[in-house]
């Protein structure tokens, strides 16, 4: 399908039409922007920088019930993700869309996770290109992304001032574009060229970068390096850098039981927590922040690329922006390169 134009004064009507699906869009909650399900287009905040919590939570909820059980009854009442219906995530950043394709590797590897994969199948991703990098700590171009990247997106919107240029990238995106077709018009000649110019300027505007070549091989050789103690000294073990990372995917499974009934839940976990690797014997193979920080960096930049061929970081900058003690992944990687 050819590029389309969605005028900004038609965006609310288009969102209203899309709200017949399970529609998630960036919305303000106090001073924080989060992706949440919206019914009223006025709740959406499309001129945002980036959300504090990445939209991964739509396909991989922070807590979800997998099934319910009852003592003496062998039948499990399993969650039927299909019932959630067609879902649209509208306005996510290209890095966050790319992050989902990285997380896909984990959930379709040795075991195909039916909950996650069904949600992914039901979900259409409508991206919002970063005309201006959302933060000074964005470094997507260093790790395989682009401010106008299209990987894993079905539609891409480019903010052209008074209007959005809408690029249709997949059949799924084409179907969604048809749904809101009456609010759009054909893009005029020259619109794509203008978008290309904006894309070049956005890439130029990224102020931070790292040369990742060789890091994957270098990290295992730095296993005993004193740098891990140095870079983790201030860490509080709060887990923010992992909870709010769009590619982090660790989870715990717990059974909650009351009387004769219970449910099995899955919830986000973090390798930055001491308990994460604590054995029942009391032994902990990652007993201090040093080992946990080494694991976090090595997993993203060495173990995951070794297994799946892609760095498990999309350069969104959240872990840098939101760490309460200003621990900076690019500074750590810089030390790894220098070591
Ligand atoms: S956000 Fe900062 S303080 Fe918290 S666990 Fe991560 S590195 Fe440590
Ligand atoms: S490691 Fe940091 S910069 Fe990389 S994707 Fe995660 S939160 Fe974003």
Rounded to the nearest angstrom, the distance between the alpha carbon of 330 and the centre of ligand 2 is 10
Asked if residue 265 is part of any domain, the answer here is yes
Check if 236 has its Cβ closer than 6 Å to any atom of ligand 1: yes
Residues with Cβ within 8 Å of residue 87, at least 6 apart in sequence = 21, 22, 23, 24, 58, 119, 122, 123, 124
In a shared domain, residues 279 and 140: no
Asked if residue 209 is part of any domain, the answer here is no
In a shared domain, residues 108 and 161: yes
In a shared domain, residues 113 and 190: yes
Domain that holds residue 101: 4-204
Check if 321 has its Cβ closer than 6 Å to any atom of ligand 2: no
- Which of 176, 204, 232 is the last residue in one of the domains? 204
Atom 4 in ligand 1: which residue has the minimum CA distance?
A: 238
Note whether 174 and 233 are within 8 A (CB): no
Mean pLDDT over residues 273-288, rounded?
Answer: 97
Check if 240 has its Cβ closer than 6 Å to any atom of ligand 2: no
In a shared domain, residues 36 and 154: yes
In a shared domain, residues 277 and 246: yes
- Which of 204, 234, 261 is the last residue in one of the domains? 204
In a shared domain, residues 57 and 168: yes
In a shared domain, residues 222 and 194: no
In a shared domain, residues 195 and 228: no
In a shared domain, residues 199 and 223: no
Asked if residue 106 is part of any domain, the answer here is yes
The average confidence (pLDDT) of the chain is: 97
Tell me how many domains the chain contains.
2
pLDDT tens digits along 104-136: 999 999 999 999 999 999 999 999 999 999 999
Atom 8 in ligand 2: which residue has the minimum CA distance?
A: 316
In a shared domain, residues 13 and 115: yes
Provide DSSP, 187-231: PPTTHHHHHHHHHHHHHHT-------TTHHHHHHHTTT-THHHHH
pLDDT attached to residue 323: 98
Whether residue 30 has pLDDT greater than 90: no
By most ligand atoms within 8 Å of CB, the mutation choice from 320, 325, 332 for ligand 1 is: 325
Binning pLDDT at 50, 70 and 90, where does residue 253 land? Answer: very high
pLDDT attached to residue 230: 97
118 secondary structure, DSSP code = H
Nearest to 26 by CA among 63, 5, 57: 57
The ligand whose atoms approach the alpha carbon of 318 most closely is 2
Rounded to the nearest angstrom, the distance between the alpha carbon of 105 and the centre of ligand 2 is 17
Burial of 133 (0-12, 13-18, 19+ CB in 10 A): buried
How far apart are the C-alpha atoms of 247 and 267, rounded to whole Å?
15
By most ligand atoms within 8 Å of CB, the mutation choice from 50, 103, 135, 246 for ligand 2 is: 246
Asked if residue 316 is part of any domain, the answer here is yes
pLDDT attached to residue 203: 98
Check if 266 has its Cβ closer than 6 Å to any atom of ligand 2: no
Binning pLDDT at 50, 70 and 90, where does residue 31 land? Answer: confident
Atom 6 in ligand 2: which residue has the minimum CA distance?
A: 245
Nearest to 254 by CA among 262, 241, 266, 246: 266
Note whether 56 and 100 are within 8 A (CB): yes
Note whether 195 and 163 are within 8 A (CB): no
Note whether 313 and 298 are within 8 A (CB): no
Structure tokens at 311: 């760095």
Distance from the first to the final alpha carbon of the chain: 50
pLDDT tens digits along 209-247: 999 999 999 999 999 999 999 999 999 999 999 999 999
How far apart are the C-alpha atoms of 86 and 82, rounded to whole Å?
8
In a shared domain, residues 142 and 195: yes
- Which of 204, 231, 250 is the last residue in one of the domains? 204
In a shared domain, residues 79 and 157: yes
Specify the DSSP element, H or E, that contains 156: strand 155-159
Rounded to the nearest angstrom, the distance between the alpha carbon of 249 and the centre of ligand 1 is 16
pLDDT tens digits along 34-93: 999 999 999 999 999 999 999 999 999 999 999 999 988 888 898 899 999 999 999 999
Check if 323 has its Cβ closer than 6 Å to any atom of ligand 1: yes
């Amino acid at each position: 399908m050819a590029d389309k134009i969605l005028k900004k004064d038609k965006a609310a009507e288009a969102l209203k039409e899309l709200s017949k699906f399970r529609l998630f869009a960036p919305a303000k909650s106090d001073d924080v922007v989060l992706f949440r399900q919206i019914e009223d287009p006025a709740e959406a905040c499309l001129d945002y920088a980036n959300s504090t919590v990445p939209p991964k939570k739509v396909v991989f909820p922070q807590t979800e019930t997998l099934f319910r059980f009852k003592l003496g009854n062998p039948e499990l009442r399993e969650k039927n993700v299909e019932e959630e219906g067609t879902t649209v995530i509208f306005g996510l950043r290209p890095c966050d869309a790319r992050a989902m394709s990285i997380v896909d590797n984990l959930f379709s590897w040795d075991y195909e996770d039916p909950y996650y994969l069904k949600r992914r199948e039901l979900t259409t991703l409508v991206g919002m290109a970063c005309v201006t990098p959302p933060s000074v700590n964005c470094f997507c171009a260093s790790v395989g992304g682009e401010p106008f990247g299209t990987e894993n997106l079905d539609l891409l919107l480019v903010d052209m001032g008074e209007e959005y240029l809408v690029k249709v990238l997949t059949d799924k995106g084409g179907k969604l574009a048809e749904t809101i077709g009456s609010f759009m018009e054909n893009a005029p000649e020259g619109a794509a060229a203008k978008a290309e110019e904006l894309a070049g300027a956005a890439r130029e505007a990224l102020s931070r970068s790292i040369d990742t070549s060789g890091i994957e091989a270098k990290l295992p050789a730095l296993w005993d390096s004193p740098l891990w103690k140095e870079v983790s000294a201030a860490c509080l073990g709060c887990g923010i850098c992992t909870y709010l990372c769009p590619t982090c995917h660790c989870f715990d499974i717990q059974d909650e039981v009351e009387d004769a009934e219970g449910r099995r839940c899955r919830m986000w976990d973090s390798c930055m927590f001491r308990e994460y690797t604590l054995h029942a014997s009391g032994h902990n193979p990652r007993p201090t922040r040093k080992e946990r920080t080494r694991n976090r960096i090595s997993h993203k930049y060495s173990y995951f690329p070794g297994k799946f061929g892609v760095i498990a970081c999309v350069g969104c900058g959240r872990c840098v922006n939101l760490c309460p003690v200003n621990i900076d992944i690019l500074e750590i990687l810089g030390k790894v390169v220098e070591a």
